[in-house]
Amino acid sequence: MKTVLSVQHLTKEIKGKLIVRDISFDVVEGEIIGLLGANGAGKTTTMKMIVGLSTISDGDVRIAGYSIKSQFSKALSNVGAVIEAPAFYPYLSGYENLRQYQRLHKNADKDWLLEVASLTGIEHALKQRVGTYSMGMKQRLGIAQALLRKPRLLVLDEPMNALDPAGVRETRNYLNKIAADLGVAIVISSHQLSEIEQMARRVVIIQNGRLVIEQRIDNGLSDGNFCITLHIDNIELSSEVVTNLFGDDHHALDYMQTEKLSNGLHTMTVAIDEGQVPKLIRALCDAGVEVHRVLPAHTSLEDKFLEWTTARSEVS
C-alpha cells in the first residue's frame, strides 16, 4: 500500500520551548491511526503542522509525496481536516455552507456533496440553518466539508466530542467505511480510547511533545500472550496450583493477577499457552477448586495507554 502521510522528525519550538520534539510516523492508504496523548501532550500542535496551520520548526511532512514545506499547495490539495471546532456561517443552511466551500475550491460536484452528506448522516438537516445545529451535527458537517475535496488524507481532532452514543457509533462506522471504500488515510485524535481501539490499526502516543510508542492494536494488545481469567472460589489453593504447574515459566507468574469479587469468588488472570488451558482446569478441579468461569482476558487500549505513559513518566 502507498504511503499517504509521512511525518519526518517533526519539531515545533515556541519562544525557546520545545512543544513537539522529533516525531516521526507514516500512514498508508486506507489506514486509520489514533494520535493519542493527555491534554497538552502536543497532539493538536502536531495536527496543525501536518495540515499547514502551524509552521514547522524542524523536520518535514510529506502528503501524497509532496512536502508541506516546499510544495505547500500540492500537499494540501490532498488533505481534508477538522482541527478544533469547525466554523460555519450560522445563518446559512448546511447545504449552502457546503456549496460555499466547494466554490472556494472550484468544485461544483453536487452529486458528491449529497453523497458525502448521506455518508456522514446529515442529509436530513441540509436545509436547516447551521445556527440551529447541535454540536454533534456541526461535527458531522465539519467532516462532510473535509471530504468534499476527495482527500487522500483526513485529519480529525476529537471528532467524537459532543456526540451521544448513537452518534459515536455512526461516526465510527462511516470513518471505517471511508477508509475501506475510498482508501482514505485517517489520522484521528480522541480521548475515547475504546472507540479508537475499535477503529484504528495503530496508535501513536505522544507525551510532553515526544513520541512514547507507536503500536499496532488491530491484532490485540496483550503483547502476543494468550491470557485467561478464571472465576474461582479459593485463591490461595489456585495460586498454589498455578505455581506448581508453571513455576518455571516466570512470565506466567509475573503476569498473574487476582481480584476479589462481590459474590465472594475471586478472579485470577494468567498468561499461558492456549494448549495448557485444559491442563490447568483439570489440575484446579483435582485440587478441589471450584471453577465457575473461564474467560479470555482482554487488555484494553486504556490499560495499555496508562501503562505506556506511566512508564515514560517514571523514566523522565
CA dist., res. 134 & res. 144, Å (int): 15
Q: What is the mean pLDDT of residues 19-47?
A: 92
| Residue where a domain terminates, one of 216, 251, 280 | 216
- Per the domain annotation, does 222 fall within a domain? no
pLDDT recorded at residue 222: 52
Neighbours of 227 (CB within 10 A): 21
31 and 179 assigned to the same domain: yes
Are residues 70 and 192 both part of a single domain?
yes
pLDDT at 202 over 80: yes
Domain boundary at 187, 216, 245, which?
216
Higher pLDDT, residue 251 or 280: 280
Residues above pLDDT 70, as percent of the chain = 88
Task: Sheet with 153-157: list strands edge to edge.
Answer: 66-67, 58-63, 3-14, 17-28, 210-216, 202-207, 32-36, 185-189, 153-157, 79-82
Indicate whether 316 pLDDT > 60: no
Residue 175 and residue 76 share a domain = yes
Q: Give the model's confidence band at 149: pLDDT under 50 very low, under 70 low, under 90 confident, else very high.
A: confident
Domain of 240, in residue numbers: 227-298
**Using an 8 Å Cβ cutoff, are 218 and 205 in contact?**
no
pLDDT tops 80 at residue 275: yes
Dist. CA 76–CA 70, nearest whole Å: 11
Which amino acid is residue 112, in one-letter code? W
Mean pLDDT of 3-25: 94
Look at residue 113 and tell me if it is in a domain. Answer: yes
- Predicted confidence at residue 300, as pLDDT, reads 66
For range 24-29, the mean pLDDT = 95
Give the pLDDT mean for 269-273.
80
User: H or E element: which one contains 216?
Assistant: strand 210-216
Do residue 198 and residue 264 come from a single domain? Answer: no
Closest CA to 229 of 279, 190, 281: 281
Phi-psi region of 223 (alpha: psi -120 to 50; beta: other; left: phi over 0): left
Residue 274 grid cell? 492456549
Same domain, 203 and 238: no
* Rounded Cα gap, residues 209 and 234, in angstroms: 47
Question: Which residue, chain included where needed, has cell 481480584?
Answer: 259
In a domain, 32, yes or no: yes
Q: Which domain CATH number covers 246?
A: 3.30.70.120
Q: Which residues contact 173 (CB under 8 A, 6 or more apart)?
A: none
Helices (runs of H) and strands (runs of E) counted in the chain: 11, 14
- Per-residue pLDDT at 90 exceeds 90: yes
In a domain, 308, yes or no: no
Q: Which of 79-83, 183-187, 218-222 has the lowest mean pLDDT?
A: 218-222
Q: Is residue 314 one of the residues assigned to a domain?
A: no
Cell digits of residue 312: 515514560
Task: Domain count for the chain, please give it.
Answer: 2
pLDDT band at 255 (very low <50, low <70, confident <90, very high): low
**What pLDDT does 315 receive?**
47
